[in-house]
Every structure is written in structure tokens, then in C-alpha cells.
Amino acid sequence: MSYKSLLTVLTDADHAAAPVAHATALATELDAHVEALCLGVDRTQSGYYYAGANAMILQETLDRARVEAGEVAAFAKDLLQKSGVRWSVEDGVAQLADIARHVALRARFSDLVVLAQPYGEGRGAEMEAVVEAALFDGDAPVLIVPDKGDPMTRPKTVVIAWNQSREAMAAVRAALPFLRNAELVRIVVIDPPQHGPERSDPGGFLGQMLARQGVHCEIDVLAKTLPRVSDVINRHVQDKEAGLIVMGAYGHSRFREAILGGATRNMLEQAKVPVLMAH
């Protein structure tokens, strides 16, 4: 399996350069097609306006969303035309509450969705909605890329955040094209459970499976010496100079992640290298 259909969803020209750059670099390396869905987001909630104002405000916000969609599409086309890869661009307007439907339809027929980090300064709520739509409604693996850094093609060292969950396994399977081409894959297990099938050999079953795929891997068992799991993983990534993190997404409910935080949200806020996630 290889990634042949790459999708990126763009809602803000200020955060579009990184996902387009990563998608085109991957497409060049893998002889793939890049599809860019450029959306202007209508954030109106018509039920909350005073009587008689709905039509006027709706028209104004729709016009603004169309302008934003056009600006993002023009930006994407300019970058894609210079890249030399096969590409297509579609633009349109979507309401914030309905954005998942548009993203999921395209994601469902893509091998990999490349998106900007959804959390941080200057990022609207729609960026988080796009990530969740691709993962949950589109059932697609998602590559979250940081704003800075060179585009990734074939990372030499990959870190797998392994906790035996079905989400982590889904991410590993989705990442196999990267894992097979890496020089070294590090299976990171943090504070392994004292009871369970892998208590005597944490990460052993996964290492065996990957070895049969021709993947050269090592197992790193780490203690949670920092307050958050994501902090431990990010520090290990820096220490080992890894170029990609593979992990399951939203092991807890999205509501809990949003209110209390969690490994997924923290990782997407802090990671300095691309993160491949699946659910």
C-alpha cells in the first residue's frame, strides 16, 4: 500500500502554507495526487439574532465566507502550480456546524489527510472541527504538520506512541508506508501496565508484527517523569531526532480532551514534527 490520494483542507490562508508544502512534497516522492478543499466558513447562528436581522446578517457573512474561500483557493493554486505535482482545488462555503459533512466526504476517499495544527494562536474553531471530521466521520488517517520545519517525505526515524489501544493500532497500520521506509522505528511504551498480556515484554507483539513487515524497530520503555505523557514523548522525539510521531487519536472522549486536556490535544499543540493519527 502507498498513499496515492492526498487531501488537505484549508480554511485560513495564514495556516495553509505548511499543509500544502507537506502534501506536495509527499506527492512528489510517492507520485500521488493532491486535492485541496478550500472552505470559507460561515459562523452565523441565525436563531440568536433579533427579529428582522437574519437575512441581512446571513447575506453579509455568506459574502465574507465566499471571499475567504476564494482567497484560500487562489493561495493554494499558486503553490500547487509551482510544485509540479498532479493536483485539484475545490472551493466553497460551509457553515461551522455542517463542516464535518463536507470534509468527511472527501476524506473517506483519500489515503491520507494532511492538515495544519488545529490548536494555537490565530486558529479558529473550524480547524479542530476539520481534524475531527477527517478522523471520525471520514475514517481516514490524518497527518498533522507544524507551521515550521522542512516538509516531510521519508522520515529516517519514527516514534510510535504505543499503549496497546485500538486507536494506536489503527495509527500503526495507517503509517506502514512510512514505517517500511524508515531506517529505524522506535516503539515507545510509557509506564507499561503491571498486569496484562504484554506485562513481561512491553511492545513485543507490535515489534514482532512490524519485523515481519520488514521494519527495523527497537522498543523504548520510559517512565512518566514529566507531568504529561505528551511531554515525555516530545522530549524523546527530540533526543532521538525523530521525524514523525505515530499515535492513536482521542482515546478519551473529545469532550474530556477539550475540557481537561489529554495526550491527543497536548500533542497537537506542542509537537515540532508531523504527527500521524488514526482513530
Task: Evaluate whether 22 touches 144 at the Cβ level (below 8 Å).
Answer: no
DSSP 225: -
pLDDT at 186 over 80: yes
Q: In which band, very low, low, confident or very high, does the pLDDT at 268 lie, cut at 50, 70 and 90? A: confident
Grid cell 465566507 is found at: 65
pLDDT at 231 over 60: yes
The per-residue pLDDT for range 110-167, each reduced to its tens digit, is: 999 999 999 888 888 899 999 999 999 999 999 999 999 999 999 999 999 999 999 9
Q: How much is the pLDDT for 278?
A: 93
Q: How much is the pLDDT for 259?
A: 43
The per-residue pLDDT for range 41-76, each reduced to its tens digit, is: 987 655 555 555 566 566 778 888 999 999 999 999
Cβ atoms < 10 Å from Cβ of 87 = 21
Quick one: what percent of the chain has pLDDT higher than 70? 89
The per-residue pLDDT for range 114-127, each reduced to its tens digit, is: 999 998 888 888 99
Q: Which one is predicted more confidently, 212 or 97?
A: 212
Q: How much is the pLDDT for 45?
A: 58
Q: How much is the pLDDT for 200?
A: 73
Nearest C-alpha neighbor of 115 from the set 97, 94, 141: 141
Domains of the chain: 5-145 (3.40.50.620), 157-278 (3.40.50.620)
Query: Which spans in 108-260 are helix H?
Result: 125-132, 166-174, 176-181, 204-212, 229-240, 254-260
Quick one: what percent of the chain has pLDDT higher than 90? 73
Q: What is the mean pLDDT of residues 202-215?
A: 96
Q: What are phi and psi of 92, to 5 degrees?
A: 180, -175
